[in-house]
Structure 1
Protein backbone atom coordinates (compact mmCIF):
# COMPACT_ATOMS: atom_id res chain seq x y z
CA UNK A 1 0.00 0.00 0.00
CA UNK A 2 2.98 2.26 -0.58
CA UNK A 3 3.16 3.74 2.91
CA UNK A 4 -0.46 4.83 3.12
CA UNK A 5 -1.64 2.05 5.43
CA UNK A 6 -0.84 4.12 8.53
CA UNK A 7 -3.01 6.97 7.22
CA UNK A 8 -5.79 4.58 6.26
CA UNK A 9 -5.62 3.01 9.73
CA UNK A 10 -6.00 6.48 11.25
CA UNK A 11 -9.05 7.15 9.08
CA UNK A 12 -10.58 3.87 10.24
CA UNK A 13 -9.71 4.67 13.87
CA UNK A 14 -11.42 8.07 13.56
CA UNK A 15 -14.54 6.29 12.36
CA UNK A 16 -14.48 3.87 15.27
CA UNK A 17 -14.00 6.73 17.74
CA UNK A 18 -16.92 8.64 16.25
CA UNK A 19 -19.13 5.58 16.56
CA UNK A 20 -18.15 5.17 20.21
CA UNK A 21 -19.21 8.77 20.83
CA UNK A 22 -22.54 8.14 19.08
CA UNK A 23 -23.07 5.01 21.16
CA UNK A 24 -22.49 6.94 24.38
CA UNK A 25 -24.53 10.07 23.67
CA UNK A 26 -27.34 8.46 21.65
CA UNK A 27 -29.30 7.14 24.64
CA UNK A 28 -28.91 10.34 26.69
CA UNK A 29 -31.96 12.48 27.41
CA UNK A 30 -30.84 15.81 28.80
CA UNK A 31 -34.31 17.33 28.57
CA UNK A 32 -35.78 14.35 30.43
CA UNK A 33 -33.50 15.05 33.38
CA UNK A 34 -35.22 18.38 33.99
CA UNK A 35 -38.37 17.94 36.06
CA UNK A 36 -41.77 19.05 34.80
CA UNK A 37 -43.90 21.50 36.69
CA UNK A 38 -42.58 23.63 39.50
CA UNK A 39 -39.58 21.38 40.18
CA UNK A 40 -40.36 21.49 43.89
CA UNK A 41 -39.97 25.28 43.92
CA UNK A 42 -43.52 26.69 43.63
CA UNK A 43 -43.48 30.33 42.60
CA UNK A 44 -39.74 30.46 41.92
CA UNK A 45 -38.55 32.53 38.95
CA UNK A 46 -36.30 29.62 37.93
CA UNK A 47 -39.32 27.51 36.93
CA UNK A 48 -39.74 29.38 33.66
CA UNK A 49 -36.02 29.13 32.96
CA UNK A 50 -36.04 25.37 33.61
CA UNK A 51 -38.98 24.93 31.24
CA UNK A 52 -37.14 26.97 28.61
CA UNK A 53 -33.98 24.88 28.98
CA UNK A 54 -35.99 21.66 28.85
CA UNK A 55 -37.73 22.78 25.66
CA UNK A 56 -34.45 23.90 24.12
CA UNK A 57 -32.73 20.58 24.84
CA UNK A 58 -35.62 18.40 23.68
CA UNK A 59 -34.65 16.43 20.61
CA UNK A 60 -31.10 17.78 20.34
CA UNK A 61 -29.14 14.64 21.22
CA UNK A 62 -30.47 12.31 18.51
CA UNK A 63 -29.37 14.47 15.56
CA UNK A 64 -25.92 14.88 17.11
CA UNK A 65 -25.58 11.13 17.64
CA UNK A 66 -26.80 10.54 14.09
CA UNK A 67 -24.17 12.96 12.80
CA UNK A 68 -21.44 11.04 14.61
CA UNK A 69 -22.76 7.75 13.19
CA UNK A 70 -22.85 9.22 9.68
CA UNK A 71 -19.27 10.45 10.09
CA UNK A 72 -18.22 7.04 11.38
CA UNK A 73 -19.78 5.35 8.36
CA UNK A 74 -18.08 7.81 6.01
CA UNK A 75 -14.67 7.16 7.59
CA UNK A 76 -15.18 3.39 7.44
CA UNK A 77 -16.20 3.63 3.79
CA UNK A 78 -13.20 5.83 3.00
CA UNK A 79 -10.78 3.41 4.64
CA UNK A 80 -12.29 0.47 2.76
CA UNK A 81 -12.17 2.44 -0.51
CA UNK A 82 -8.51 3.37 -0.06
CA UNK A 83 -7.60 -0.21 0.85
CA UNK A 84 -9.32 -1.42 -2.31
CA UNK A 85 -8.06 1.27 -4.70
CA UNK A 86 -4.39 1.98 -4.12
CA UNK A 87 -4.28 4.51 -6.96
CA UNK A 88 -6.95 6.58 -5.19
CA UNK A 89 -4.95 6.42 -1.96
CA UNK A 90 -1.84 7.60 -3.78
CA UNK A 91 -3.78 10.42 -5.40
CA UNK A 92 -5.74 11.60 -2.35
CA UNK A 93 -3.48 10.89 0.61
CA UNK A 94 -0.26 12.73 1.15
CA UNK A 95 2.43 11.94 3.62
CA UNK A 96 3.53 15.10 5.41
CA UNK A 97 7.16 15.99 5.02
CA UNK A 98 8.88 18.93 6.64
CA UNK A 99 10.46 21.38 4.22
CA UNK A 100 14.19 20.94 3.69
CA UNK A 101 16.24 22.46 6.46
CA UNK A 102 13.54 21.97 9.08
CA UNK A 103 13.63 19.07 11.49
Structure 2
Protein backbone atom coordinates (compact mmCIF):
# COMPACT_ATOMS: atom_id res chain seq x y z
CA UNK A 1 0.00 0.00 0.00
CA UNK A 2 1.36 3.39 -0.89
CA UNK A 3 0.38 6.99 -1.12
CA UNK A 4 0.88 9.85 -3.47
CA UNK A 5 1.24 13.43 -2.33
CA UNK A 6 -0.84 15.79 -4.44
CA UNK A 7 1.81 18.50 -4.52
CA UNK A 8 -0.11 20.91 -6.74
CA UNK A 9 -3.17 20.66 -4.49
CA UNK A 10 -1.06 21.20 -1.37
CA UNK A 11 0.49 24.31 -2.91
CA UNK A 12 -2.94 25.57 -4.05
CA UNK A 13 -4.32 25.08 -0.54
CA UNK A 14 -1.45 27.12 0.82
CA UNK A 15 -2.19 29.92 -1.65
CA UNK A 16 -5.87 29.83 -0.68
CA UNK A 17 -5.02 30.01 3.03
CA UNK A 18 -2.86 33.05 2.30
CA UNK A 19 -5.75 34.69 0.44
CA UNK A 20 -8.11 34.05 3.35
CA UNK A 21 -5.53 35.46 5.77
CA UNK A 22 -5.43 38.66 3.76
CA UNK A 23 -9.23 38.88 3.74
CA UNK A 24 -9.70 38.41 7.49
CA UNK A 25 -6.79 40.57 8.63
CA UNK A 26 -8.97 43.67 8.93
CA UNK A 27 -12.05 41.92 10.27
CA UNK A 28 -12.86 43.43 13.65
CA UNK A 29 -15.71 41.51 15.31
CA UNK A 30 -15.34 43.57 18.50
CA UNK A 31 -16.43 46.69 16.63
CA UNK A 32 -19.83 45.10 15.95
CA UNK A 33 -20.60 45.00 19.68
CA UNK A 34 -21.90 48.09 21.43
CA UNK A 35 -19.80 49.75 24.07
CA UNK A 36 -20.77 51.28 27.37
CA UNK A 37 -23.90 49.92 28.98
CA UNK A 38 -25.29 48.77 25.62
CA UNK A 39 -28.64 50.30 26.47
CA UNK A 40 -28.96 48.07 29.54
CA UNK A 41 -27.62 50.09 32.49
CA UNK A 42 -26.98 47.97 35.56
CA UNK A 43 -27.55 44.71 33.71
CA UNK A 44 -25.28 41.70 34.36
CA UNK A 45 -25.15 41.26 30.60
CA UNK A 46 -23.31 44.56 30.25
CA UNK A 47 -20.20 43.25 32.01
CA UNK A 48 -20.33 40.00 30.07
CA UNK A 49 -20.71 41.88 26.81
CA UNK A 50 -17.68 44.00 27.71
CA UNK A 51 -15.63 40.83 28.34
CA UNK A 52 -16.71 39.36 25.01
CA UNK A 53 -15.83 42.60 23.24
CA UNK A 54 -12.40 42.65 24.91
CA UNK A 55 -11.69 39.04 23.97
CA UNK A 56 -12.68 39.71 20.36
CA UNK A 57 -10.29 42.65 19.96
CA UNK A 58 -7.57 41.74 17.50
CA UNK A 59 -9.25 38.44 16.61
CA UNK A 60 -9.03 39.14 12.87
CA UNK A 61 -5.30 39.83 13.04
CA UNK A 62 -4.65 36.76 15.21
CA UNK A 63 -6.68 34.56 12.87
CA UNK A 64 -4.83 36.01 9.88
CA UNK A 65 -1.50 35.27 11.56
CA UNK A 66 -2.49 31.66 12.17
CA UNK A 67 -3.67 31.30 8.57
CA UNK A 68 -0.41 32.80 7.28
CA UNK A 69 1.55 30.27 9.31
CA UNK A 70 -0.63 27.46 7.93
CA UNK A 71 -0.09 28.77 4.39
CA UNK A 72 3.67 28.84 4.97
CA UNK A 73 3.60 25.30 6.37
CA UNK A 74 1.76 24.06 3.27
CA UNK A 75 4.21 25.87 0.97
CA UNK A 76 7.13 24.29 2.83
CA UNK A 77 5.53 20.84 2.63
CA UNK A 78 4.92 21.20 -1.11
CA UNK A 79 8.54 22.25 -1.67
CA UNK A 80 9.85 19.35 0.40
CA UNK A 81 7.68 16.90 -1.56
CA UNK A 82 8.95 18.37 -4.84
CA UNK A 83 12.54 18.08 -3.64
CA UNK A 84 12.18 14.49 -2.44
CA UNK A 85 10.40 13.52 -5.67
CA UNK A 86 13.28 14.99 -7.69
CA UNK A 87 15.83 13.04 -5.62
CA UNK A 88 13.81 9.83 -5.95
CA UNK A 89 13.51 10.31 -9.71
CA UNK A 90 17.26 10.79 -9.98
CA UNK A 91 17.91 7.72 -7.84
CA UNK A 92 15.61 5.62 -10.02
CA UNK A 93 16.97 6.85 -13.36
CA UNK A 94 19.27 4.28 -14.97
CA UNK A 95 22.81 5.54 -15.42
CA UNK A 96 24.58 5.21 -18.72
CA UNK A 97 28.09 3.89 -18.68
CA UNK A 98 29.64 1.71 -16.02
CA UNK A 99 31.05 3.17 -12.86
CA UNK A 100 32.14 -0.10 -11.27
CA UNK A 101 29.13 -0.37 -8.96
CA UNK A 102 25.98 -2.37 -9.36
CA UNK A 103 23.48 -1.30 -11.93
CA UNK A 104 20.10 -0.12 -10.62
CA UNK A 105 17.28 -2.59 -10.85
Question: RMSD over aligned Cα, in angstroms?
Answer: 2.7
- Over 4 Å off, 4+ runs: 87-90
Can you give the 5+ residue segments of structure 2 that lack an aligned partner in the other structure?
Answer: 90-105
Calculate the TM-score normalised by the size of structure 1.
0.65
Residue of structure 2 equivalent to 1:60: 59
| Preserved contact between residue 41 and residue 47 of structure 1 (Cα < 8 Å) | yes
Greater RCO, 1 or 2 (C-alpha within 8 Å, sep 6+): 1
Distance 1:89 1:10, change over 3 A: farther
Residue correspondences, number: 87
Could you list the per-position Cα deviations for residues 16-66 of structure 1 after superposition, in whole angstroms to 9, with x for gaps in the alignment?
221122122211111122121011222333211110111122233322211
If you compute each CA radius of gyration, which structure gives the higher value, 1 or 2?
Answer: 2
